[in-house]
Structure 1
Amino acid sequence: MTGLVVGTYTADMGGAGDGLLMLPGGRTVATPSPSYVIASGPVLYAVNEGAGTVSSFAADDLRPLSTASTGGTWPCHLALIDGYLLAANYGSGSVSVHPVTGGVIGSSTDLVRHSGAGPDAGRQEGPHTHQIVPGADGVVTVVDLGTDRLVDYRLEDGRLRRLGETALPPGSGPRHVVTHPNGRRYVAAELGSALLTVAGGEVVASVPATASDGHNQPSGLVRSGDHLYLANRGADTIAAFRVDASGAAVPLAEVPCGGAWPRDLALFDGGLVVANERSHTLTYFRLDDGVPVPSGEPTAVGSPTCVLPL
């Protein structure tokens, strides 16, 4: 398989990786635990989870271009919106906004901090922003695992104006969200090990993330047409769901991920690529009528945390 950028956990976060890795070619650049990466034209943007910063790199050779502080701790997700880079700081429960000019990240123009907590004392002692999702009509949704909320903002002149929020079941611990053309939002609930369906500002359905027994923490969630694919850490599976005409997410199949602790997954070459953090591998699947089928041999990568097809 070709055309991938992989972010890894480096020693600062207990990992065994090198930073950013480009496949094929094996080019690398050392940067502190780039646990999420996005691309825009010739530029890559990465969080440095262990350092509380965001960085940009040339996409062709991983040449460093800039680095800026997020003003928070453990940044874990990014979005580029209207010339601004937004970073979710998981540790401090905040979102920073940075102007971007020619691939160079500037100092933050805004830093919004969430407040509150959830019933899981070990994981929800405070807010934990986990994902930033650009939406229709300029709405930006921030997923907060710590407070069980989807918080909506509008980005205006480099600042975030709060619009409202959607409350999710207490203790569900939302991690990632995808939106379907039917207008519904599907939420990977990490702490509740479920896939939630949100419509009209409320949860209308919940299905288990896995059929397996035991502790499980869903992670990455992607959509391909009417199919949803969810990575399950603990069960170590990929669960496939089909969105039916009513908007319900119907379990379709669940297959072993081919490794341990699938941290992220992405659509790639008509199939899926999965980053297995604890087995230090990438695994590949073709999609057969929506069902993931293993394809090819795993690729060895130290502590992969995110995958980005170019």
Structure 2
Amino acid sequence: MTQFWIGGYGTDMGGDASGIGLLEGDEGREPTTLAYRGTVAAAASPSWLAQHPSLDVVYAALEGSGTIQAFVRNGEASLAPLGAPIDAGEAVCHLAVAPSGAYLVASCYGDGRVVRIALDSAGRPGSPTVADAATDPYGTAGDLRSADLTDVLASLAAPAEELSEPPRSGLLLFDEVLGVNASAPEPEEDAPVEDEPARRSHAHAAAFLPDGRIATTDLGFDLVRIWRMTANGLTQDHRVVLPHGVGPRHMVVHPSGHLHVVTEYSGEVFTLAAGQDGYWGAISAVTAAPGMQEGLDFPSEISRSRDGETLYVSVRGSNTVAALRVRGSGESIESFALAESGVDWPRHHLVHDGALLVAGQRSGAISVLDLDERTGAPRGIRHRAAAPSPTSILLAR
């Protein structure tokens, strides 16, 4: 029997989940029907769940309290706390566990914190180490929106030791690929940006890269930051600055090593790659789905098929799931299908053996979509199961 742990919003976040729930599918690899079995571990708004790579331990981001907590499986359908909650940061919304199982990275939407938390041999979390805070590349007059491209080229040609920050190969592509107007006149010094609220750092996700480094998104500052692990925790190696206001949210690593980043505000998927110098940059960007309406549609999750030939993006607002085909060796993608998600406000989804499970936060339901075996396109809604304010789906070990 297939089992899934379900995270959700509790009363402290406007939902009705009372903790981590259990969803069970019928016999066979592809669940035809699903049934919600209730809460298996009490917790306040476990909005994101992550699995230890080798232990039967599940980590929950308790978003409302700004803490994370570990749970160990202690029965066929039950989880028990593995220690007390650990402080992470305001509105912690995402957890990623290192492939080694030695630590996890927590991303905090509320205060922008990126936090490394060590894990012991039993998977129990230790004390958090907060990484350096992000700075807004668009926070001063004469920023990258109106930067002179010749200045960018000059900085890239300068010796590395003379630069305040390593060169970013992706900046070369802004004018021709990403649509930033590199020749626009600079604004007057200290001129206010009209009709734009103050920007805040909003860390949102982390992903482990093939070379051992870590990528994190900052939705508020339009950044993808690249980190190295050091004895003192996470140390920023460099950063990739995306166009102003796109809002990078979640990521998925392609088997080729490319990194696909979905943006919440602009509804795009950016593909990032590492250059020969080791620095990452954006090499392409496409709209996640045809008819995407900025300000009405808000992409949430991005995932891939096992073979890496198809990407899936869930879109809140239109309540759809977009399918994108990966071309070449992962460097190019194109949208080719769009389907109803079967739920309201699809917060998260999970690809599982020929099906796509979609968590509908507002509809209190999880839908199962069939995926075409040949093309990977969503074919239709196979089944729906009620679940309280679901926000995260995790395949049980």
Instruction: Give the TM-score normalised by the residue count of structure 1.
Output: 0.93
Q: Percent identity?
A: 35
Partners of 2:290 and 2:335 within 8 A in 1: no
Paired position in structure 2 for 1:85: 104
Q: How many correspondences in the alignment?
A: 309
Specify the SS of the correspondent of 2:47.
Answer: coil
User: Matches of 1:158 and 1:20 in 2, distance apart?
Assistant: 33
Partners of 2:69 and 2:81 within 8 A in 1: yes
User: Matches of 1:115 and 1:15 in 2, distance apart?
Assistant: 33
Asked whether 1:194 is paired with 2:268, we answer yes
For structure 1, the 5+ residue unaligned runs are none
Asked whether 1:248 is paired with 2:337, we answer no
Paired position in structure 2 for 1:283: 367
Query: Equivalences for 1:5-154 in 2 at 5 Å?
Result: 5-24=5-24, 25-40=37-52, 41-59=55-73, 60=75, 61-81=78-98, 82=100, 83-101=102-120, 102-116=122-136, 121=196, 125-154=199-228
- What is the CA deviation profile of residues 22-75 of structure 1, one whole-angstrom value per residue up to 9, with x for unaligned ones? 123434322121111011221000110000100001134211112343342000
Which residue identity does 1:114 align to in structure 2?
A: A
Q: Specify the structure having the higher radius of gyration (Cα).
A: 2
Specify the SS of the correspondent of 2:211.
Answer: helix
User: Matches of 2:367 and 2:361 in 1, distance apart?
Assistant: 11
User: Matches of 1:164 and 1:117 in 2, distance apart?
Assistant: 13
User: Cα distance, 1:182 vs. partner?
Assistant: 3.0
Partners of 1:96 and 1:112 within 8 A in 2: no
For structure 2, the 5+ residue unaligned runs are 25-36, 139-192
With 62-71 and 258-267 compared, the bigger mean Cα shift is at 62-71
User: Cα distance, 1:209 vs. partner?
Assistant: 2.1
Which has a greater percent of helix?
A: 2
Which residue identity does 2:103 align to in structure 1?
A: Y
RMSD (CA atoms): 2.0
Asked whether 1:227 is paired with 2:310, we answer yes
Partners of 1:117 and 1:125 within 8 A in 2: no
- What is the CA deviation profile of residues 204-234 of structure 1, one whole-angstrom value per residue up to 9, with x for unaligned ones? 3222223235411000000112100000001
Which residue identity does 2:264 align to in structure 1?
A: E
Asked whether 1:292 is paired with 2:386, we answer no
- What is the CA deviation profile of residues 270-294 of structure 1, one whole-angstrom value per residue up to 9, with x for unaligned ones? 3210001111110011210201123
User: Matches of 1:117 and 1:126 in 2, distance apart?
Assistant: 12
Paired position in structure 2 for 1:4: 4
User: Cα distance, 1:267 vs. partner?
Assistant: 1.1
Distance of aligned partners of 1:258 and 1:295 in 2 relative to their CA distance in 1, 3 Å threshold: closer
Which residue identity does 2:358 align to in structure 1?
A: V
User: Matches of 2:3 and 2:223 in 1, distance apart?
Assistant: 35
Which has a greater percent of strand?
A: 1
Instruction: Give the TM-score normalised by the residue count of structure 2.
Output: 0.74
User: Matches of 1:226 and 1:106 in 2, distance apart?
Assistant: 38
The equivalent position to 1:239 in structure 2, one of 322, 333, 337, is 322
Asked whether 1:257 is paired with 2:341, we answer yes
User: Matches of 2:125 and 2:380 in 1, distance apart?
Assistant: 39
Partners of 1:275 and 1:304 within 8 A in 2: yes
Partners of 1:193 and 1:217 within 8 A in 2: yes
User: Cα distance, 1:85 vs. partner?
Assistant: 1.9
Specify the SS of the correspondent of 1:12.
Answer: helix
- What is the CA deviation profile of residues 148-198 of structure 1, one whole-angstrom value per residue up to 9, with x for unaligned ones? 011011112350111001111110000011122333221111011111222
